[in-house]
Amino acid sequence: MRLLYDIGIRFYWLVALLISPWNPKAKLWLEGRRHWYAKLQGALGRDEKVIWFHCASLGEFEQGRPVIEGIRELLPGRKILLTFFSPSGYEKRKDYSGADYVMYLPLDTRKNAHKFLDLLSIEMAFFIKYEFWYHFLKQLRSKEVPVYLASGNFRPGQLFFRWYGSWYRRFLDLFTHIFVQNKDSEKLLAGIAYHRVSVAGDTRFDRVHELKQTPFSHPALEDFGKDSPIIVAGSTWEKDEQLLAHAYSELGEQVYWIIAPHELSEGHIRSLQDRFPGSVRYTELKEEVPNGCRVILVDTIGKLSFLYRYGALAYLGGGFGKGIHNILEAATYGSPVIFGPEHAKFSEALELSSLGGAFPIESETELLLTIRQQLENPKLLKTTSQIASNFVSERVGATSVILDKVCIKSQTNLL
C-alpha cells in the first residue's frame, strides 16, 4: 500500500508538471517548491528551536491561526515555521507576520522528509484539520517530535473507516494527540480503537470572535446605506453573482450591497461593474460613497472578514459550486447567512440552518423571498441575528483547550 501511496504522490507531481504551462496554479505549485532546501537552510538555523505548523490552504490556515498566535504568545523564544500545500494558501499568506518563515510543503517523499527534518530542530508540530502526510509524520515520530492534529474533522466515508483502510489508520497512530471539532469525530475514532483524542471544538470560532473585537472602520462606509439595510455578499462566484444581480434589480433602493467576488481579476471586476450599474470599487473609495451608488465591489483581499460588520444580512458564495465559504465570519457579527445548496459537508452550516440563523436557497426566487422575509420583518431579523451571533459566541474556546493540553503533555520540553 505504501508503494501505491508513493506512486500516487509522484503521479500528482507529474500531472502538475504536464499542465503547468496552461494552469497558473499548477505552475505556482511547482515553482514554489523549487530549491526549497537551500531556501529553508538560509532561513532557519539548526540551533534554533522551531515549532512547525502545516496547513493545506487558506481555510485551514484560518483554523490554525489562533493556535499559532497562542503558541507565539506562550513561547516567544521559538521560531514559527508555517507550510502550505496549495498556492491559494501560500500566495495569500506568504507575508504572514506571525511566522518566522513561510514556505510550500515539499513533496511527501521519504527523501524529502528526511532532509526537511534533519535540517531543523523541531520541538513540536501541528497539522491542521485534514492534513495527513505519511513520510513527514513517520519522520516526526522517529525523531520523537510531538505532533498534533488540530481542528480535526472526520466523516464516515474517509479511508480510515473503510474495511480496506488499515494502512491509512497508521497515519493516525503517528499523531501524539488529535483534537477534533465534535463528538461525532470522536466516536468515529473510538470505533477504530483510537483514543488519543480530545473534543476541543473548532478554532475558527475563536478566530472570527477575535476579528469581531478588532477595530475597523472606513469613513465612506459609516454613512453608506444609513437609511437602508446592507447585504454583504462574500466570496461570490458566477452563479452567485447572477442571483445577486437579479435581487439587486428587483429590490431597487430598498437594499445596499457590499459584494466581494472570489475572482479579483481586472476583467471580472469590470464585468461586475456592468452587471451592477453605478457600483464603485472599494479601492476607489474616499471620504464618501458617490451619490446614487448602492453597490461597493471589494476588489482587494483581506477586508471581507471586517466588512461583514456592516451587514444586516450576509450571502456566502460557493454554494452553487464545490461548497460554501466560511459562514462564521459573517455570523459572528449577528448577520443571518444565506447560501446555495452545496453545503452538506459543512457542519456549521447545517447546524446554524437548523437553529434558524442560516438559510439555504436554490434559485433567484428563493433568494429574493428570503431577503424580503428577513428585511420586511424587523422582529424576525432581530431574532435570527441573535441566533447567528450566539451560535459563534457559545462555541469559543477551542484554542485554549488545545494549548492547555499541549503544554501539559510537553511541559518538560517547553519550560
Q: pLDDT truncated to tens, each residue of the chain (415 aa)?
A: 888 999 999 999 999 999 999 999 999 999 999 999 999 999 998 889 999 999 999 889 999 999 999 999 998 889 999 999 999 899 989 999 999 999 999 999 999 999 999 999 999 999 999 889 999 999 999 999 999 999 999 989 888 999 888 899 999 999 999 999 999 999 999 999 999 999 999 999 999 999 999 999 999 999 898 889 999 999 999 999 999 999 999 999 899 999 999 999 999 999 999 999 989 999 999 888 998 899 999 999 889 999 999 999 999 999 999 899 999 999 999 999 999 999 998 989 999 999 999 999 999 999 999 999 999 999 999 999 999 999 999 999 999 999 999 875 555 444 3
102 and 246 part of one domain: no
Distance of CA 388 to the CA centre of its chain: 19
274 and 345 part of one domain: yes
Closest residue by Cα to residue 411 from 70, 9, 123: 123
397: left (phi over 0), alpha (psi -120 to 50) or beta: left
CA distance 37 to 358: 46
C-alpha separations of 293 from 220, 241, 253, 282 in Å: 12, 18, 10, 12
Phi, psi (rounded to 5 degrees) for 313: -135, 160
404 and 379 part of one domain: no
- Asked if residue 211 lies in contact with residue 304, where contact means CB atoms within 8 angstroms, the answer is no
- Asked if residue 175 lies in contact with residue 150, where contact means CB atoms within 8 angstroms, the answer is no
371 and 227 part of one domain: yes
State the DSSP H helix or E strand holding residue 404, giving kind and residue range, or none if neither.
Answer: helix 398-414
- Asked if residue 149 lies in contact with residue 173, where contact means CB atoms within 8 angstroms, the answer is no
Domain span holding position 290: 216-393
385 and 284 part of one domain: yes
- Asked if residue 73 lies in contact with residue 99, where contact means CB atoms within 8 angstroms, the answer is no
Query: Residue 115 sits in a domain of what CATH number?
Result: 3.40.50.11720
11 lies in some domain: no
What pLDDT, on the 0 to 100 scale, is given for residue 409? 54
72 and 194 part of one domain: yes
Closest residue by Cα to residue 372 from 235, 276, 252: 252
247 and 224 part of one domain: yes
55 and 190 part of one domain: yes
275 lies in some domain: yes
C-alpha separations of 84 from 59, 90, 92, 314, 324 in Å: 11, 6, 11, 29, 21
345 lies in some domain: yes
C-alpha separations of 201 from 71, 141, 177, 294, 331 in Å: 18, 25, 14, 39, 17
pTM for the model stands at: 0.86
3-state secondary structure 155-213: CCCCHHHCCCCHHHHHHHHCCCEEEECCHHHHHHHHHCCCCCEEECCCHHHHHHHHHHH
144: left (phi over 0), alpha (psi -120 to 50) or beta: left
207 lies in some domain: no
81 and 182 part of one domain: yes
92 and 157 part of one domain: yes
What pLDDT, on the 0 to 100 scale, is given for residue 410? 53
* HSE-up (13 A, CA, CB side) for residue 156: 1
254 and 160 part of one domain: no
What pLDDT, on the 0 to 100 scale, is given for residue 3? 87
- Lookup result for grid cell 447572477: 242
- Lookup result for grid cell 455570523: 331
153 and 195 part of one domain: yes
What pLDDT, on the 0 to 100 scale, is given for residue 359? 98
Determine the 3-state secondary structure of 330 from DSSP.
helix
- Asked if residue 200 lies in contact with residue 170, where contact means CB atoms within 8 angstroms, the answer is no
